[in-house]
Amino acid sequence: MTTAEKASPRDRLLDAAARLSYRDGVSIGIEALCREAGVSKRSMYQLFDSKDEMLAASLERRMPGYQARLTHPDPASATPRESILYVFEQLEKRSVEPGYHGCPYLAVLVEVKDPEHPASVVAREAKDVLLSTFRTAAERGGARDPELLARQLLLVFDGASARAGARVEHLDDGLTTTTVTALLDASGMR
């Protein structure tokens, strides 16, 4: 028996929603999601009130892994500058992977448009956590205006991930880390 066969129907649906919505967008149909998960529509509706709720649960489930990938491997000894630059180094590395389509949370916010949609609420939370992470590092690093720097860093992150996800920009040349270094220097960050 494979791992996928051992997973519960709920987990298989959440995994399918994560894969398909990231690859094809959130407008993916219920039939495709259920087929991918090997779960009937009836079972899906027993587990979730709606596709929107399932998409939100899928995004929420992926959030710890997403945040872990952007966290310096040794956060206790990393300087605030190193912690911020690590986020952008990871973005550069991931952006050249064949299946990269940009930040999954930004993609949902752009595609859904409705700020009250359950998936939008979760996606906004993920972006708020990243903004807060940048702000905290900026404060610890002595930036003159930590809030402004955090917003600038999130703007670079989202813009770079969107452009790389659309395959109109290549990030493997260090463009984002160079840009972020200039922002950190200009802000007086140590």
Query: Is residue 53 situated within a structural domain?
Result: no
As for how many domains the chain has, the answer is 2
pTM beyond 0.75, yes or no: yes
Q: Which two tokens stand for residue 138?
A: 């900026």
Give residue-wise pLDDT tens across range 32-41: 999 999 999 9
CATH no. for residue 29?
A: 1.10.10
Q: What percent of the chain has pLDDT over 70?
A: 97
Provide the domain limits for residue 138. Answer: 59-186
**Rounded Cα distance, 83 and 86, in Å:** 5
Give residue-wise pLDDT tens across range 164-181: 999 999 898 999 999 999
Residues 71 and 131 in one domain: yes
Cβ atoms of 152 and 76 within 8 Å: the answer is no
**Rounded Cα distance, 6 and 1, in Å:** 7
